[in-house]
Amino acid sequence: MPDILREGYSADVIAMEQEYVLQTYRRPEFVLVRGEGARVFDSEGRAYLDGVAGIAVNALGHGDAQVVAAIQAAAEGLIHVSNLYHTEPHAVLARSLVERSFADRVFFCNSGTEAAEGALKFARKHARRFSGQEKTGILAFSGSFHGRTMGALSATATEKYRAPFEPLIPGVCFAPFNDPVAAEDAITDEVCAVIVEPVQGEGGVHPATVDFLERVRAACDQAGALLIFDEVQCGLGRTGHLWAHQAYGVTPDLMVLAKPLANGLPIGAVLMTQVVADTMVPGDHGSTFAGGPLVCRVAQVVLERISTPEFLADVRDKGEHLAARLAALVEASQLAREARGMGLMWGIECEVEVAPILSAAYRHGVLACGAGPNVLRLLPPLTITLAELDQLVDRLEVAFDEVEGRD
Ligand SMILES: *Cc1c(COP(=O)(O)O)cnc(C)c1O
């Protein structure tokens, strides 16, 4: 065990990271060593209320007894055998996802980007089978984020993520998010798939409007295009509904999941209807790690817990409370312009860059993150208590005041 009480421990860890790890992230100047519920602790013993939950991953918080027990039990059984063989947790998890959703079939993978990648491939094959060689177009939207692999990145709008790696895959177009007329114009007969986040996450926490999703759905039906909902961030209870699209009453043909599904172990999933599934045959797509018995057993625990009506009602109640508190924060602060979100997924649009506000929040014991330069994002564990949520916002108010120079 590393001696975290040793003088200089965190400085050493940070120096090592900076010397050896590829520098694709800017991290704050502390080292996290432990978590408990909605709190994490750094090596100096400071506690932080976790308003990030590993980017919407630790839905059940840290150190959840059932998650820990599932990992231990699974590790003593089988961790991995590959997709060449049958294992029970894989089949059981697929059935559980199907029983709780619009879908008939599930493909497992290891991350959100892989799930988006898979969905785009399945849509291409579906169009090729039913509509010939020309129907290959993909429509995505401004502000979208679907991941970092070449395919998922091709459908991600943010220019600075794309530009260094071009050329990306051809045939992807973008229309303005929440503009139904522009979407209807863009969903032509050449489009095989439309991919959209019902609540955009990385793009700044922007919920879609009901009208937008309804008209995108209708335009897809008209053009024979498949509708893919990317619920990697907004799905699995985050909005207070098991699936974000249930709040809209609009159903996709495919849905991609990842972040919270195994509470921190890597997993992704593509859910689809039978007609989409029918176009895929053995050998068409695959993964070495995906759907392993350990990760699926843990995901089963997560899915069973978060999909009960009581759990989801509790998320909605806490979400309403958080909405009211953030509206008051915006009202009181010169720096905050607007709070947007659903359930326990919120963004505070600021007049300034959020980096100094995030730093002040760290000093006051809160983890929050950005969603673009001007939006402060909150994605706490879904199990956070009302009292913890209040304390988190209290501290955030202090951080806003401090940056504004009002303390
Ligand atoms: C995080 C995210 C992804 C990518 O997931 P990774 O697991 O980081 O590959 C894709 N789509 C959305 C909406 C996301 O929030």
Give phi and psi for 104, each to the nearest 5: -110, -20
pLDDT of residue 1: 54
Q: Which residue has its alpha carbon closest to ligand 1 atom 10?
A: 146
The preferred substitution site among 113, 154, 206 for testing ligand 1, maximizing ligand atoms within 8 Å of CB, is 113
Instruction: Give the pLDDT confidence score for residue 156 in this predicted structure.
Output: 98
Half-sphere exposure of 15 (CA within 13 A, CB side): 5
**In the structure, what pLDDT confidence band is assigned to residue 343 with cuts at 50, 70 and 90?**
very high
How far away, in angstroms, is 232 Cα from ligand 1 center? 6
pLDDT the model gives residue 222: 98
Convert the pLDDT of each residue in 322-336 to its tens digit.
Answer: 999 999 999 999 999
Looking at the CA of residue 202, tell me the nearest atom of ligand 1: 15
- Which residues, including other chains, have CB under 8 Å from residue 163's CB and lie 6 or more apart? none
Q: Is 248 exposed, middle or buried (0-12, 13-18, 19+ CB in 10 A)?
A: buried
Mean pLDDT over each residue of the chain, to the nearest integer:
97
- Give me ligand 1 centre to Cα 404, in Å: 32
Q: Please give all residues whose beta carbon lies within 6 A of any atom in ligand 1, as ranges.
A: 111-113, 116, 145-147, 197, 201-202, 230, 232-233, 258-259
The answer to pTM > 0.95 is: yes
Structural domains present in the chain: 9-63+310-404 (3.90.1150.10), 66-306 (3.40.640.10)
List 141's β-bridge partners, or say none. Answer: 175
Check whether 388 has a pLDDT greater than 90: yes
Q: Among 197, 232, 243, 256, which residue has the most ligand 1 atoms within 8 Å of its CB, making it the best to mutate? A: 232
Question: What distance in angstroms lies between residue 134's CA and the mean position of ligand 1's atoms?
Answer: 29
> 151 CA distance to ligand 1 centroid (A)?
13
- In this predicted model, what pLDDT tens digit does every residue of 26-79 receive, in sequence order? 999 999 999 999 999 999 999 999 999 999 999 999 999 999 999 999 999 999
Place 2 in a pLDDT band, splitting at 50, 70 and 90. low
Side chain identity at residue 182, one-letter code: A
Instruction: Tell me the CA–centroid distance for residue 233 and ligand 1, in Å.
Output: 7
What backbone torsions phi and psi does residue 51 show, to the nearest 5 degrees? -90, 15
Query: Cα of 255 to ligand 1 centre, how many Å?
Result: 13
Residues 33-39: contacts with CB under 8 Å, at least 24 apart: 33/4, 34/62, 35/61, 35/62, 35/63, 36/61, 36/62, 36/63, 37/61, 37/62, 37/63, 37/381, 37/383, 37/384, 37/388, 38/62, 38/380, 38/381, 38/383, 38/384, 38/385, 38/388, 39/388
Whose C-alpha lies nearest to ligand 1, atom 8? 112
Q: Report the separation in Å between the CA atom of 158 and the middle of ligand 1, taken as the mean of its atom positions.
A: 13
DSSP 374: T
Mind listing the pLDDT tens digit for each residue in 84-100?
999 999 999 999 999 99
Q: Residue 265 C-alpha to ligand 1 middle, in angstroms?
A: 14
**Triad 287, 292, 293: Cα angle to 5°:** 165
- Ligand 1, closest atom to CA 114? 9
pLDDT at 180 (0 to 100): 98
CA 200 to ligand 1: nearest atom? 13
27, 347 contact by CB (below 8 A): no
pLDDT of residue 7: 85
pLDDT grade for 198, boundaries at 50, 70 and 90: very high
| Rg of the chain on CA atoms, in Å | 21
How do residues 290-339 score in pLDDT, each as one tens digit? 999 999 999 999 999 999 999 999 999 999 999 999 999 999 999 999 99
Q: Residue 64, Cβ neighbours under 10 Å: how many? A: 23
What percentage of the chain has pLDDT greater than the value 90?
97
Residue 407 has pLDDT above 80, yes or no: no
Q: What is the pLDDT of residue 385?
A: 98
What is the structure's pLDDT at 6? 81
Counting atoms of ligand 1 from 1, which one is nearest the CA of 112? Answer: 5
